[in-house]
Amino acid sequence: MAFKDCCNDCLQCLFGYETPVQLVINNKKVGVLFRLIQVMIITYVAVYVCWIQRAYQDTDSVISSVSTKVKGNILTNSSIGGVHVWDVPEYVIPPQGESSFFVLTNMILTPGQTQSKCPEIPSEFTKCESDRDCNEGLSEVQGSGVQTGRCVQYSDTIKTCEVHAWCPLENDINIPKPALLGEAEDFTVLIKNSIQYPKFSFKKRNILRHINSTYLKTCTFNRVTDPHCPIFRLGDMVTEAGEDFSVMALKGGIIGIFIDWNCDLDFPERFCVPKYSFSRLDNKNPANNVAPGYNFRFSKYFKNNENIETRTLIKAFGIRFDVIVLGKAGKFNIVPTIVNLGATLAFLSLVNPVCDWFMLTFMKDRDQYAKHKFIHMNQNVDTVPLSSMAASSYGTP
């Protein structure tokens, strides 16, 4: 018996369906307001969250591998170097075609350096009257060697501290102008880029399926006519970056080659194509800058007939191209969808309180509404509750 009751209670609390009692008010003002807010929220979700922000998508960021290959030759005729043809192994550093490659455009050559002693290049730090002005073993950060402590003639008029160094010292005061390899703007670079989005096991290359090898042998990238050709003319890239190649070639700089792989993978794979853009990455403005441009020194080592090591020092100015691959892929996923929809639904539950407040504050019949909306019940509860007379109506409990 008792068990049966208990059992009933259980079932009741399990399957007894509770639904809030609603007060329906036929009042245009509130009704309109109510619907209006609802519509607004739903529109926001549909348009902004789903359509524009694609908040229903799970995202992954790109993994990429890049290889580059520069092509081109230049004939130069300089005082020191004489007639010289520059080919890729000479002007591309490092040679192995990584995602960041440097193209030599200008340089200062100092051949025949050997380990010995020679006077410093004159500067505020290195000029001297007597040995007293030079300290043996001192190595100026700005200097080009370690001082011997002697003060010697640099020229008829100038004396400078003597240094242990690779002599003769490089004198980089005047940079060749125009740039020695200014014609480098006609060089082309082939960029091979293969990317993947591991989370969606999506792989693709910047050499698209519809591109055939014959086309690749001849094409050059052009934003309008050949937007998918992976072969770029250096000059074009620098121009698109808003720079003047001949100027940049003098002191060098860094150009970023951005390959943008932003893709909506809910669309067919063929719509996922790279977008190329170019911009200068280093700070050319000399105001708050030191050593503007981009240069570095490297050397070729030889042994002369006396088997003494000599070297040719090259101060290389040029343009470093950094291939930077960006990308975020989005694909429908249930979790972000649920989260975003859910979160906005939560706002729908706010509409009622808002409208109630409006109704109970601004409507002339507010007292009536209040009376009907709220059933007051005080501590000293009366014994005749709502339900008891409900009892009278519905059979006995």
Q: Which of residues 179-238 bind a copy of itself (CB under 8 A)?
A: 186, 188, 190, 192, 194, 198, 205, 207-213, 216-217
According to the binding rule CB under 8 A, does residue 178 interact with a copy of itself? no
Is 296 one of the annotated binding-site residues?
Answer: yes
Residue 20 touches a copy of itself, criterion: CB under 8 A? yes
Q: Is 142 in the site for a copy of itself (CB under 8 A)?
A: yes
22-30, 123-131, 174-182, 241-249 -> range binding a copy of itself (CB under 8 A): 22-30
C-alpha span between 57 and 324 (Å, rounded): 25
CB nearer a copy of itself, residue 129 or residue 395: 395
Contact with a copy of itself (CB under 8 A) among 119, 143, 235, 274: 143
Which of helix, strand or coil describes residue 63? Answer: strand
* Residue 295 contacts residue 306 (beta carbons within 8 Å): no
Q: Give yes or no for residue 334 binding a copy of itself (CB under 8 A).
A: yes
Size of the site for a copy of itself (CB under 8 A): 158
> What is the Cα–Cα distance from 249 to 130, expressed in whole angstroms?
41
Contact between 339 and a copy of itself by CB under 8 A: the answer reads yes
Which secondary structure element, helix H or strand E, spans residue 168, and what is its range? none
Q: Does 294 bind a copy of itself (CB under 8 A)?
A: yes
- How far CA 200 is from CA of 197, 207, 329, in Å, comes to 6, 20, 9
Q: Is 175 in the site for a copy of itself (CB under 8 A)?
A: no
The sign of the CA dihedral 361, 362, 367, 370 is negative
Please calculate the CA angle 107-111-117 and round it to the nearest 5 degrees.
120
Taking the C-alpha atoms of residue 99 and residue 102, their distance in angstroms, rounded to an integer, is 10
Looking at 38, 59, 67, 239, which residue binds a copy of itself (CB under 8 A)? Answer: 67
Residue 249 CB burial class (10 angstroms; 0-12, 13-18, ≥19): buried
Ranges within 74-93 binding a copy of itself (CB under 8 A): 74-75, 82-85, 87-90, 93
Site residues for a copy of itself, 90-129, by CB under 8 A, read: 90, 93-98, 100, 102, 115
346 near a copy of itself, rule: CB under 8 A: yes
3-state SS string for 228-241: CCCEEEHHHHHHHC
As annotated, the binding site includes: 69-71, 188, 295-297, 315
